[in-house]
Amino acid sequence: MQPRSLETEELTDRLTTALLELDRNAARACFQHGALEPLAFSETVLAAALERIGDRWERGELALSQVYMSGRIAEDLLDDILPPQDLPVTSHPALAIAVLDDFHPLGKRIVSSVVRASGFRLTDYGLIGVDDLVQRARRDGIEILLISTLMYPAALRVRELRVRLDRDMPGTRLVVGGAPFRLHPNLWREVGADATSTTAAGVIPLLRRLIAEPS
Amino acid sequence: MNEMTPLERVLCTLGHREPDRVPFFLLLTMHGARELGIGIREYYSTPELVVEGQLRLRKRYGHDCLYGFLYAALESEAWGGETAFRDDGPPNALAPCITDIRKIPHLEVPRITEAPGLKKVLEVLAGLKARAKGEVPIIGTVMSPFSLPVLQLGFERYLELIYREPELFCELMRLNTEFCVAWANAQLAAGATAICYFDPLSSPEMTPASDYPRLGGAVARATLSRIQGPTATHLASGRLGSILDEVAGTGTAALGVSSREDLSALKKSFSGRLAILGNLNGLEMCGWSPEQAAGEVRRALSAGAPGGGFILSDNHGEIPWQVPDRVLEAISETVRRWGRYPIAPEVLPDA
Ligand code: B12
């Protein structure tokens, strides 16, 4: 990560506005004027803009529709400046995301946009149950697993997932999120997760921390 | 004061006066199945079971309403959708029933009497009415025309529709409004005393407060004015933020509020315009001890009850299946003990 300069701050302000106004051209212009490499731009400016948007959502200043739509624009911008095949191969532990035992994909969609737009590679397992998830994560050597749920009984399935991971893939870190975790701030601990965030963009500093700490 | 019937108590508080005690709504659904010792899916398959479940729950906890809500996905079923059941939680809508937004202008509004799921609810309401002797309010429910499309289209496609396809969005709102009005009025005719209008998409958590007057608020005004009975609006634990004045202008009588909002502050700003329904945290409730439950109830009573205009309930409009009976008992006992008017200053556990 690059140190944040005044210029980066200004760029982040401008990009935040462009994303919220759903202005693709203005968002692209931020990249073009920034003179940063695509990956550095996404790690510093784009990730920071999405984090600000997430924080403002959590404070009640912005709506989920804005979080979602701005995430879409951010993802498009990233595809444009840094197509997936151009991402550096393995600069970080293998990450995956899934919706566990639930039918609601929007949370995962938003988190994926943010994670990808911040320059990470992310495997997406879609909507999945505990058995299949453990099997696939093991096959892919996943080290950090992101789980999104909307229903409470689905959130409770994380307990079972934790037990299975500890048995079959010890050391795998588990990050959970979604409405039940947001509305019940202690739930992530109760189900044995390693971390949570009330916003999608909050996952970025979390990932950086988990990557920096050995498991 | 003589003991009031639940209906008298609720009407009194909706009139922003103090009844004999604070009315409380335990908005229980799936617990009826547990009460009858059967699975959730079986329970919802037969109206008589739901009637029996509701009556037994009320007998056990003595709360001030009967709840005619089964599950939200019944409405998407009426539009052609399917539902998935699970043993440990509420049913959910499966794939969206509107697969191509271009077909919206050709959609037909489902007839209430031809939708088996909706007919079941009408039978539940009729059964409750027959057995409640007019003393207990029976709550019917609708998903707002503005919130239902999350199930009809899926959340992502719906957001794109709102912001990128304004004409198709308006057309869907027109159709859904017709449906919602017919559905609400059918429930009132069958036996519901009032309609709870679930509209979480209008919470500024979901769509911007600045859009409310032209989006969720416009739809609510058009819909609620045609519902032939009292309505309460529920944001299903979405926060109210800054849209109070507009919500009060939609013609609703009460508002279900989130546990993430400060009840005392809300009480002040509502200042008699709307009654408050809320705001115990239903998810945290799953892990409360009876003592914690009592503490939470006392805090809510202290903040919300003085002056009337307050119905104690959960923050979402449905108590999760995982909430144990002893917690519900503790809530019920605490309201009876501390909810008598005038509210005692010692109601606050730490006072
Ligand atoms: C809008 C809403 C509705 C709408 C639309 C629902 C839908 N999406 O399908 C309607 C009115 C139709 C509805 C119905 C129901 N609802 Co509802 N609804 C809500 C509400 C207000 C928002 C839900 C939502 O979709 N949000 C959008 C998502 C993307 O937000 P999110 O999950 O919080 O995700 C954000 C963050 O948490 C984070 N995040 C998400 N995933 C992850 C993952 C990681 C790793 C990280 C770090 C972060 C992260 O990023 C996202 C963006 O920042 C919530 C309460 C609330 N305040 O949130 C209840 C809520 C989801 N509903 C709930 C329930 C129970 C239902 C019903 C089952 C009720 C019933 N018995 O029928 C039905 C189910 C409908 C269906 N699908 O069949 C419960 C679920 C919990 C529980 N009790 O089991 C909730 C939480 C309410 C509550 N307080 O209990 N609902």
- Is the model's pLDDT at A90 over the cut of 70? no
Average pLDDT of chain B is 97
The reply to whether B260 touches chain A by the CB within 8 Å rule is: yes
**Confidence band of A86 (pLDDT split at 50, 70, 90):** confident
Strands A173-177 vs A144-148: parallel, antiparallel or unpaired: parallel
Q: Which residues of A touch B287 (CB under 8 A)?
A: 186, 190
Q: What are the counts of helices (DSSP H) followed by strands (DSSP E) for chain B? A: 15, 9
The reply to whether B209 touches chain A by the CB within 8 Å rule is: yes
The reply to whether A105 touches chain B by the CB within 8 Å rule is: yes
- Chain B nearest C-alpha distance from A190 (Å): 10
pLDDT at B351 (0 to 100)? 61
pLDDT at B332 (0 to 100)? 98
Coil, strand or helix at B315: coil
Counting from 1 in the atom list of ligand 1, the atom nearest the Cα of A199 is: 53
Convert the pLDDT of each residue in A103-160 to its tens digit. Answer: 999 999 999 989 988 889 999 999 999 999 999 999 999 999 999 999 999 999 999 9
Q: Do A152 and B322 touch (CB under 8 A)?
A: yes
Which residue from B86, B163, B284 is facing A65, i.e. has the nearest CB?
A: B163
Q: Which of A55, A65, A66 to mutate to test the interface with B (most CBs of B within 10 A)?
A: A65
Pocket test for ligand 1, best of A150, A196, A199, A207 (most atoms within 8 A of CB): A150
Which range (A75-89, A186-200, B277-291) has the least confidence? A75-89
For residue A66, CA distances in Å to A17, B55, B72 come to: 11, 43, 25
pLDDT at B97 (0 to 100)? 94
Q: Do B283 and A62 touch (CB under 8 A)?
A: no
pLDDT at B149 (0 to 100)? 98
Rounded mean pLDDT, B29-52: 98
CB B227 within 8 A of CB B195: yes
Rounded mean pLDDT, A39-66: 93
Q: How far apart are CA A156 and CA B299, in angstroms?
A: 28
More confident residue, B271 or B321: B321
Please name the fold of domain B6-347.
TIM Barrel (3.20.20)
- Is the model's pLDDT at A93 over the cut of 80? yes
In this complex, how many residue pairs, one in chain A and one in chain B, have their CB atoms less than 8 Å apart? 71
- Chain A nearest C-alpha distance from B279 (Å): 12
Q: Which residues of A touch B89 (CB under 8 A)?
A: 151-154
Long-range CB contacts (< 8 A, 24+ apart) of B51-57?
B51/B124, B51/B127, B51/B128, B51/B131, B54/B28, B54/B124, B54/B128, B55/B128, B55/B131, B56/B32, B57/B26, B57/B28, B57/B31, B57/B32
Centre of ligand 1 to C-alpha A149, Å, is: 8
Centre of ligand 1 to C-alpha A14, Å, is: 31
Coil, strand or helix at A150: coil
- Is the model's pLDDT at A4 over the cut of 70? no
Hey, whose CA ends up nearest to atom 17 of ligand 1? B236
- Is the model's pLDDT at B87 over the cut of 60? yes
pLDDT at A89 (0 to 100)? 67
ipTM of the shown complex: 0.96
Q: Do A60 and B162 touch (CB under 8 A)?
A: no
The CB of B47 under 6 Å from ligand 1? The reply is no
Rounded mean pLDDT, B92-98: 95
Which range (A81-95, A140-154, B75-89, B260-274) has the least confidence? A81-95
- Is the model's pLDDT at A88 over the cut of 80? no
The reply to whether A184 touches chain B by the CB within 8 Å rule is: yes
Stated as kind and residue range, the H or E segment containing B195 is strand B194-198
pLDDT at B331 (0 to 100)? 98
Domains and CATH numbers, chain A: 8-81 (1.10.1240.10), 95-212 (3.40.50.280)
Average pLDDT of chain A is 92
pLDDT at A91 (0 to 100)? 76
Work out the number of other CB atoms within 10 angstroms of the CB of residue B185. 19
Cβ neighbours of residue B271 under 8 Å, at least 6 residues apart? none
Rounded mean pLDDT, A158-174: 97
Counting from 1 in the atom list of ligand 1, the atom nearest the Cα of B235 is: 21
Rounded mean pLDDT, A173-201: 97
Q: Which residue of B has its CA nearest to A180?
A: B283
- Is the model's pLDDT at B349 over the cut of 70? yes
The reply to whether B159 touches chain A by the CB within 8 Å rule is: yes
pLDDT at A6 (0 to 100)? 62
Its pTM surpasses 0.90: yes
Which residue from A57, A62, A152 is facing B89, i.e. has the nearest CB?
A: A152
The CB of B150 under 6 Å from ligand 1? The reply is yes
pLDDT at B319 (0 to 100)? 98
pLDDT at A8 (0 to 100)? 86
Which range (A75-89, B229-243, B283-297) has the least confidence? A75-89
Convert the pLDDT of each residue in B112-127 to its tens digit. Answer: 999 999 999 999 999 9
Cβ neighbours of residue B44 under 8 Å, at least 6 residues apart? B33, B50, B70, B71, B85, B91, B120
Convert the pLDDT of each residue in B296-315 to its tens digit. Answer: 999 999 999 999 999 999 99
Convert the pLDDT of each residue in A22-47 to its tens digit. Answer: 999 999 999 998 888 888 898 889 99
